[in-house]
Amino acid sequence: MSFIEFVEGPFYTVAMTIFLLGAAWRVIGIIRIGRKKDISPPKGSAAAGFFKGNLRHFFPRGIFARRTWLHIVGGYGFHLGLFGLMLFAAPHVAFISERITGFGWPTLPRWGFVITAEIAFAGLIVLWVRRISDPVMRLISDWDDHIGTWITFFVMLSGCFAMQESHVFLRATHMLLVNIWLIYFPFGRLMHAFTFFLSRGNTGATYGRKGMNL
Amino acid sequence: MSDQSKADIAVAKFLEHTDGEVASFFEACVHCGECAEACHFHLSTGDPKYTPTYKLLPMVKAYKRDKAPFSSLKKMVGLAPAQVTEEELLEWEPLVYDSCNMCGRCTLVCPMGIDIAGTIRKMREGYAAAGMVPEGLQRSAEFVKKTSSPMGVTIKALQAQIKHQEDITGIPIEVDKKGADYMAIFSSMEIMGYPEVLGAYSKLFKKAGVSWTISSVAYEATNVGVQIGSGPLAKEILQRVVDAAEALEVKHVISPECGHAYGAIRWAGPNMMGRQFNFEVVHIIELLDQLRREGKIPPGKKDDRTMTLHDPCQIIRRGGLLKEPRSLMDGSCGNFVEMKGAGVTNFCCGGGGGVSANPRAEELQTAAFSQKLKQLDGIDNLEAVVVPCGNCRTVFEDGLDAYERDLEIIGLSELIAETLAE
């Protein structure tokens, strides 16, 4: 078995299994801790608040934007760029179509890929530079923050190298890093991709019960 | 209590209070530091240690070590956080009690919507159980046990204030009136510092034809248990009010112009008692707004001074009463100007959540008040600030004094009473 066959075959299957089971275990584990039923007479709907809270926190409040614009721009740039690359880069669509869905969808043209990648890289670099330079960020950051950032960075970088599919080694390197990223994901702070909805939702539900329009 | 056992007791309480909601907060925080940009303690000092999420660190560590999914696996491979020590708890104690008003402004800026204020409240349970509470708050708790009031206000003192207000208004206030529709409770600060609120209630309720009373055994609304983080004490304080209200068979209990008292009885109350009450809790602002909408307390000549409204965090941002005070202000104030950031994003006065009862935090509180002062300075020719919270009022007065500023501070009920149609 060649290296590329290994990283796209059994290693990928193992990594994806750890990712799926680990992420599910962690989310279910949080939910299973449970929460006492709130018996104060409600003024509004907790369920509606759960969804509203999730949507509301996608949009930064204007009054804070002047102080947090760098983080907003970096954060949105990185995340939108990353999702653009993950879901619309031609090799990804081909891989997903072949291995998972059985069907594909329109992909980014080369120039679109380049722009999207630049936005994602710029966002990630801004966030990381802020993490190592801002006194608040330096104080609160830990090794998990840095590992998550760097693994993601190398996955993206190797993906750009592999884009042309000119060398099998480059594609294999990208897949190797993707597998490492998938294995690390459920155990670290990358899990915020799944836990954010619980956090926003819980606060939204509390506000919702109080009939608050936040 | 040995040193180790203090840490053990605190950690056990941290874990007990880390329910699914708190766990979701700890699991979602990405250490982005946005919360620092909303915290008046950080903004006024520039010190990174006042970053709200940082204040939670010992509780986060306890959760990640002993309760989080994969914590056993991480402990096995040596990747779990170290045990929380007493030294660490002592280092964090001023962050938990002195530099957090539990105002919840940080939640609004948090991309994950983490309720840091609510989590600090739960974290304080650990500190209270381990006996690691600031002296000032501990003293308030002792007063409460003796007199039911954190300032030691006795029924005799209340009766004297009632008599004085009856003399001023000419309207009798009936104490322990069984079967009244409403039972009012007050904060000690109102009773001793702003007793005119009693006169305002009697004037407004007479006009509206509302039947009301004050209990001689449960007149105190302040819940030091909530401020300290002691669930048992909070329940004991609340029990007095619930027992008195149910004994007097009132239909409603009026929560006063006091921030945390509203949350303590309206939202946390039934959960603390483990049952719903036989009466409804209504905030005085809600009640006055309702009476005004029903035409029972029509506004007369408006106060034409340039006024603004402070938003007490636990009533507005965390209590949900955003429109009601504004509607009342519009009816009673001829020149009502909102401060920048008014409403749900308004700054806390700096003294909420027990900070004003903690002398050790005085300097920090004054520093935090500078953010409020900036908001006030943004309004041209401001003549008065309406502050619908007794505790916030004293913080405003102390803050203005510290910064050598002169501005009138008034309560909302008093403003409504003063501008009531004849």
3-state secondary structure of B173: coil
Same domain membership, residue B224 and residue B93: no
Same domain membership, residue B239 and residue B158: yes
What total of structural domains would you count in chain B? 3
Same domain membership, residue B343 and residue B309: yes
Would you tell me how many other CB atoms lie within 10 Å of the CB of residue B145?
12
Q: Kindly state whether B12 is in contact with chain A, defined as any CB-CB distance less than 8 angstroms.
A: no
Asked if residues B180 and B174 have their Cβ atoms less than 8 Å apart, the reply is yes
CA distance to A76, A114, B202, B239, B249, per residue, from A88 (Å): 17, 12, 68, 60, 66
Interface residue of B27, B265, B338 to substitute, partner A, most A CBs within 10 Å:
B27
pTM: 0.94
Comparing C-alpha atoms, which of A59, A139, A33, A20 is closest to residue B26? Answer: A33
Q: Which two tokens stand for residue A45?
A: 């709907």
3-state secondary structure of B274: coil
Asked if residues B350 and B369 have their Cβ atoms less than 8 Å apart, the reply is yes
Q: What single-letter DSSP state applies at residue A116?
A: H
- pLDDT at position B4 over 90: no
Per-residue model confidence (pLDDT) at position A53: 96
- Asked which of B291, B326, B358 is the last residue of a domain, the reply is B291
- SS3 per residue for A26-51: HHHHHHHHCCCCCCCCCCCCHHHHHH
Q: Which two tokens stand for residue B241?
A: 């009010």
Tell me how far the alpha carbon of residue B254 is from its chain's centroid: 15
3-state secondary structure of B420: strand
Per-residue model confidence (pLDDT) at position A164: 76
Average pLDDT over residues A32-53: 95
Identify the domain containing residue B23 by its residue range.
3-132
Span B28-41, pLDDT tens digits: 999 999 999 999 99
Comparing C-alpha atoms, which of B394, B415, B400 is closest to residue B197? Answer: B415
Residue in this structure with the two tokens 């209504």, named with its chain if needed: B282
Average pLDDT over residues B395-417: 97
Asked if residues B253 and B214 have their Cβ atoms less than 8 Å apart, the reply is no
pLDDT band at B150 (very low <50, low <70, confident <90, very high): confident
Instruction: List the single range of A70-84, B8-22, B141-155, B365-379 with lowest mean pLDDT.
Output: B141-155
Tell me how far the alpha carbon of residue A187 is from its chain's centroid: 14
Q: Which domains does chain A have, with CATH numbers?
A: 3-34+62-209 (1.20.950.20)
Would you tell me how many other CB atoms lie within 10 Å of the CB of residue A17?
12
- Asked which of B76, B100, B132 is the last residue of a domain, the reply is B132
Q: What is the CA radius of gyration of chain A?
A: 20
* Angstrom distance (rounded) from CA A138 to CA A136: 5
- pLDDT at position B3 over 80: no
CA-based nearest distance B46→chain A, Å: 9
- For every residue of A124-184, DSSP letters joined together read HHHHHHHHHHSHHHHHH--HHHHHHHHHHHHHHHHHHHHTT---HHHHHHHHHHHHHHHHH
Q: Kindly state whether B109 is in contact with chain A, defined as any CB-CB distance less than 8 angstroms.
A: yes
Per-residue model confidence (pLDDT) at position B5: 87
Same domain membership, residue B240 and residue B184: yes
- pLDDT at position B1 over 60: no
Closest residue in A to B24 (Cα–Cα) = A199
Torsion of CA B150, B155, B159, B160, to 10 degrees: -60
Per-residue model confidence (pLDDT) at position A163: 84
Same domain membership, residue B306 and residue B281: no
Per-residue model confidence (pLDDT) at position B142: 87
Interface of B with A in 384-413 (CB under 8 A): none
Type of residue at B128: A
Task: Tell me if B320 and A211 make a contact (CB, 8 A cut-off).
Answer: yes
Average pLDDT over residues B150-172: 94
Angle, alpha carbons B235-B137-B359 (nearest 5°): 155
Mean pLDDT, rounded, of chain A = 95
pLDDT band at B72 (very low <50, low <70, confident <90, very high): very high
Same domain membership, residue B151 and residue B124: no
Q: Which two tokens stand for residue A177?
A: 């890093």
Asked if residues A211 and A60 have their Cβ atoms less than 8 Å apart, the reply is no
* Angstrom distance (rounded) from CA B266 to CA B263: 5
Q: What residues contact residue B61 under an 8 Å CB cut-off, 6+ apart?
A: B81, B82, B84
Q: Kindly state whether A45 is in contact with chain B, defined as any CB-CB distance less than 8 angstroms.
A: no
Which residues does chain B have within 8 Å of residue A54's beta carbon, measured at their own beta carbons?
Answer: 113
- pLDDT at position B43 over 90: yes
Same domain membership, residue B150 and residue B215: yes
Interface of A with B in 104-133 (CB under 8 A): 131
Would you tell me how many other CB atoms lie within 10 Å of the CB of residue B91?
13
Task: Tell me if A63 and B280 make a contact (CB, 8 A cut-off).
Answer: no
Same domain membership, residue B279 and residue B158: yes
* Angstrom distance (rounded) from CA A195 to CA A27: 7
Per-residue model confidence (pLDDT) at position B143: 85
Type of residue at A48: A
Same domain membership, residue B153 and residue B259: yes
Same domain membership, residue B301 and residue B287: no
Strand partners, B306: B335
CA-based nearest distance B285→chain A, Å: 15
CA-based nearest distance B163→chain A, Å: 36
Domain harbouring B219, CATH code:
3.40.50.1860
Q: Kindly state whether B111 is in contact with chain A, defined as any CB-CB distance less than 8 angstroms.
A: yes
- pLDDT at position B289 over 60: yes
Domain harbouring B105, CATH code:
1.10.1060
Angle, alpha carbons B308-B309-B313 (nearest 5°): 150
Same domain membership, residue B141 and residue B124: no
CA distance to A41, B72, B242, B320, per residue, from B323 (Å): 20, 49, 28, 9
Per-residue model confidence (pLDDT) at position A81: 98
Asked if residues B153 and B162 have their Cβ atoms less than 8 Å apart, the reply is no
Q: What are the backbone angles phi and psi of residue B110, rounded to the nearest 5°?
A: -70, 125
pLDDT band at B148 (very low <50, low <70, confident <90, very high): confident
Tell me how far the alpha carbon of residue A62 is from its chain's centroid: 24
Domain harbouring B339, CATH code:
3.40.50
Per-residue model confidence (pLDDT) at position B69: 97
Give percent of chain A above pLDDT 70.
100
3-state secondary structure of B326: helix
Average pLDDT over residues A12-19: 97
* Angstrom distance (rounded) from CA A209 to CA A203: 10
pLDDT band at B273 (very low <50, low <70, confident <90, very high): very high
* Angstrom distance (rounded) from CA A109 to CA A112: 5
Task: Tell me if B30 and A145 make a contact (CB, 8 A cut-off).
Answer: yes
Same domain membership, residue B284 and residue B200: yes
Per-residue model confidence (pLDDT) at position B59: 98
Burial degree of B67 (CB within 10 A; 0-12, 13-18, 19+): middle
- Asked which of B73, B101, B132 is the last residue of a domain, the reply is B132
Q: What residues contact residue A118 under an 8 Å CB cut-off, 6+ apart?
A: A81
Interface of A with B in 170-209 (CB under 8 A): 186-187, 189, 191-192, 195-196, 198-204, 206-207
Residue in this structure with the two tokens 């155990």, named with its chain if needed: A187
* Angstrom distance (rounded) from CA B121 to CA B124: 5
Asked if residues B11 and B57 have their Cβ atoms less than 8 Å apart, the reply is no
Q: Which two tokens stand for residue B372?
A: 């409020």
